[in-house]
Each structure stands twice: as C-alpha cells, then as structure tokens.
Amino acid sequence: MKTEATVILDGVGVRRALTRIAHEILERNKGITDLVLVGIRTGGIHLAHELAGRLEEIERAPVPVGSVDITLYRDDIRTQTPVLPVGKTEIPFSLEGKRVVLVDDVLFTGRTIRAAMDAMMDHGRPQCIQLAVLIDRGHRELPIRADFVGRNVPTSRKENIQVRFDEANRPVEVFLEKN
C-alpha cells in the first residue's frame, strides 16, 4: 500500500507551539512552585525536556522531569501475545502534593493517558495532574481532554500522525500519513 506523508507542523511551528505551551503552563500554575513534568515514553519524554528547558529559561530555576512507561498499565495487556517490551519508569522524586504536568506527543484515544494517570497515583498523591500534548487528533474513547495543546488536527482513524525527532531527541517536524 502506498503511503503519502504531509508535514503538518515544521520545526519552527513545533518550537513556537512548545514556547506557547510553556507560557500557558506558567500562567495556569502561577509559576513553577511544586511543578514537575512527567513525559510518556518515548516521544513525551523528549518534549518534556524541551518544555523544562523553556520553563527554566523564563523562571531561572530548574523544573524536575520524570519519565513513565505505561506498558504494565495498558488495558489491552491481556490480549497482547507475545507481551510488549517494558521500558523504564524514572521518577526520582515524590509526587506527593506536586502539580504534575503529563506530557505526550499525540493525544488519540486517551487510553495511554488513563494508564499514565494510574501509574502516577502509584508514586504518591499529586495535588493535580494536567495534560500537555503537541497534537490532539481527536477520536477519544475515554472522558479525557488536554489542558495544553500545540495544535488540533482533525484526522480519520486510518491516518497516522508521527512526531519526528533528530539524533539529539529534539523535535524536527510533525507529519501525517494517509494509508
């Protein structure tokens, strides 16, 4: 089958979107007190580091970044044969009382976010969890919405959206594949 790819957000567009999200996070949370970022493996982790860099630049203080692998929390784990590889979850700080911003590249059915929130709760009881995504492509299957969105992209279920990263794990562009 032939696939054609369309770039829907170029490098400049991605950087602008991330800068805007960083400002929105600060506005909503009134600064970086108790703020932590947790990226969802693997695209979300790279974006969380991008956001943390911008937040530090604006506020002149570092924001802790953690990462979560949601494989063990998937709701379709029982039907996966063979089982999926498990990546590392690294949250080297307590989430108790923290304002957690979950970061992912593409928001689709919402099932990944449900799994990530369950994982967060096993690391303590955060004050709140917010969600930042670069792309919201619709088709939610659970009552979940993002607090910060880079761009809303209406898609059909057959299409595929990918965020491409370079070797230094910096976002290069976002493209949409039609099958």
Partner 1 sequence: MVFKHKDILGLQNLTAEEIELLLNTADSMKEISKREIKKVPTLRGKTVVNLFFEPSTRTRTSFEIAAKRLSADTLNISASTSAVQKGETLSDTARNIEAMKPDIIVMRHAISGAHHYLAKRVSYSVVNAGDGQHEHPSQGLLDMMTMREKLGTLEGLKVAIVGDITHSRVARSNIYGLTKMGAKVFLAGPPTLIPPGVERLGNVAVCGRMRDAVEDADVVMMLRIQLERQGKALLPTMREYSRYFGLSEDVVKLAKPGVLVMHPGPMNRGVEICSDVADGPNSVILEQVENGVAVRMSMLYHVSGGGPTE
- Give the one residue of 24, 90, 147, 159 binding partner 1; rule: CB under 8 A: 90
Neighbours of 23 (CB within 10 A): 14
Among 30, 60, 88, 158, binds partner 1 (CB under 8 A): 88
> Nearest Cα to 58, choosing from 34, 36, 104, 25?
25
| Torsion angle of C-alpha atoms 11, 14, 20, 21, degrees rounded to 10 | -150
Return the sign of the alpha-carbon dihedral for residues 123, 118, 37, 168. positive
Residue 32 or residue 115: which is nearer to partner 1 going by CB? 115
Distance from first CA to last CA of the chain, Å, rounded? 7
Closest to partner 1 by CB, 72 vs 144, is 72
Site for partner 1 in 95-134 (CB under 8 A): 118-119, 121-124
DSSP for residue 90:
B
Least CB distance to partner 1 at residue 84 (A): 8
Count of residues that interact with partner 1, criterion CB under 8 A: 22
Under rule CB under 8 A, residue 142 binds partner 1: no
Binding of residue 64 to partner 1 (CB under 8 A): no
- Exposed (0-12), middle (13-18) or buried (19+): which is 144, by Cβ within 10 Å? middle
- Give the residue with the Cβ less far from partner 1, 53 or 87: 87
Q: How far is the CB of 121 from partner 1 (least distance, A)?
A: 8
Question: Is 122 or 166 the residue whose CB approaches partner 1 more closely?
Answer: 122
- Of these, 12, 82, 158, 167, which contacts partner 1 (CB under 8 A)? 82
Interface residue with partner 1 among 83, 128, 142, 172 (CB under 8 A) is 83
Backbone φ, ψ for residue 17 (5° rounding): -60, -45
3-state secondary structure 30-47: CCCCCEEEEEECCHHHHH
85 touches partner 1 by CB under 8 A: yes
By CB under 8 A, name the binding residues for partner 1.
Answer: 69, 72-73, 77-78, 80-83, 85-90, 94, 118-119, 121-124
